């Protein structure tokens, strides 16, 4: 998922990483920055990347029933999803 601003992406990570969704309480989401090669960043890379402006996020553990529009609706509250 790619946001139009780094601030929106950072807010999304802050709010959703390791949080359970109300409809799926046993499922904790993984929301972290992605690097340019579209790979999930390690903890050390994430700590170093806080100085950079990431807009691309890795989202894992979404419910299987979710469609693309569900994901866009969920995260567009933080900013424009591209």
| Residue 16: predicted pLDDT | 92
- The predicted pLDDT at position 48 comes to 63
What pLDDT does residue 44 have?
A: 74
pLDDT per residue as tens digits for the range 32-82: 888 665 566 677 766 665 556 778 888 999 988 889 999 899 999 998 888
| Its pTM surpasses 0.85 | no
Amino acid 40: pLDDT? 66
- In total, the chain counts a number of residues equal to 82
Domain limits of the chain?
A: 6-75
How high is the pLDDT of residue 50? 55
């Amino acid at each position: 998922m790619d946001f139009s601003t780094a601030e929106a992406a950072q807010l999304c990570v802050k709010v959703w990483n390791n949080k359970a969704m109300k409809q799926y309480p046993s499922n904790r989401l993984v929301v972290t920055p992605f690097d340019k090669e579209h790979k999930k960043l390690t903890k050390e890379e994430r700590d170093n990347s806080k100085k950079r402006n990431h807009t691309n996020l890795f989202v894992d553990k979404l419910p299987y029933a979710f469609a693309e529009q569900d994901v866009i609706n969920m995260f567009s509250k933080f900013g424009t999803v591209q």
